[in-house]
Structure 1
Amino acid sequence: MPAPPDAALVARIAASTGLSPAEAARVVEDVVAFHAEPVEDYVRRRHAQMKTYGARNDEIFARIAEELAGRVVAAPGLSERQLRRIVYG
């Protein structure tokens, strides 16, 4: 079972948004879960999403590399080859 969200953060979110403490806690848990996604899962998911819309691999891998660099919980720098290996093995 994951740790409960930080009480001070939940209180701040509740106060600044008008959400109830329970609603604010769910928001915090959702955000933490989003950023806890393993890099490999993120790369595979984003590759599949972009492939669905007809993007080419060179475009996809460049975009994924940019996205990873900008994530709040920064992923390690991955080369295009490493990204390809995550997707194709």
Structure 2
Amino acid sequence: MGRDDVFDDVVAHLVRTTPLSPEMSRRVVEEVVDQLREPLEARLRRRHRELQAQGLANAEIFPRLADELAARPVAAPPLTERQIRRAIYG
């Protein structure tokens, strides 16, 4: 069973319940899965760069990152600001 087959039921559900085409539904599912599979450190670094680009300072960014991690469907373990900083800066 390939990666495409694994999500056939989810794609079919989206096609039935939204105006999305089968192709667009599959793309949406694959993008969401890719986001959820992003390694924790990579996600923290990416979001840190995005939030800095919006003009936010680390004092605002670190609590926001902690909240985002806790709100994910498969939540990461709670991280302290120090752990977040270490994941971003090494």
Please say whether Structure 1 and Structure 2 have the same fold, judged by a TM-score greater than 0.5. Answer: yes
Cα deviation digits, residues 36-83 of structure 1 (max 9, x gap): 111111111111111223222121101100011001121121111110
TM-score by length of 1: 0.87
Q: One-letter code of the match for 1:17?
A: T
Structure 2: gaps of 5 or more residues: none
Q: One-letter code of the match for 1:3?
A: R
Q: What CA RMSD, in Å, does the superposition of the two structures yield over aligned residues? A: 1.5
Structure 1: gaps of 5 or more residues: none
Cα deviation digits, residues 5-45 of structure 1 (max 9, x gap): 42211111011113232221111111111111111111111
- Which structure 2 residues correspond to residues 3-82 of structure 1 after superposition, within 5 A? 3-4=3-4, 5-82=6-83
Sequence identity (%): 48
Deviation at 1:85, TM superposition (A): 0.5
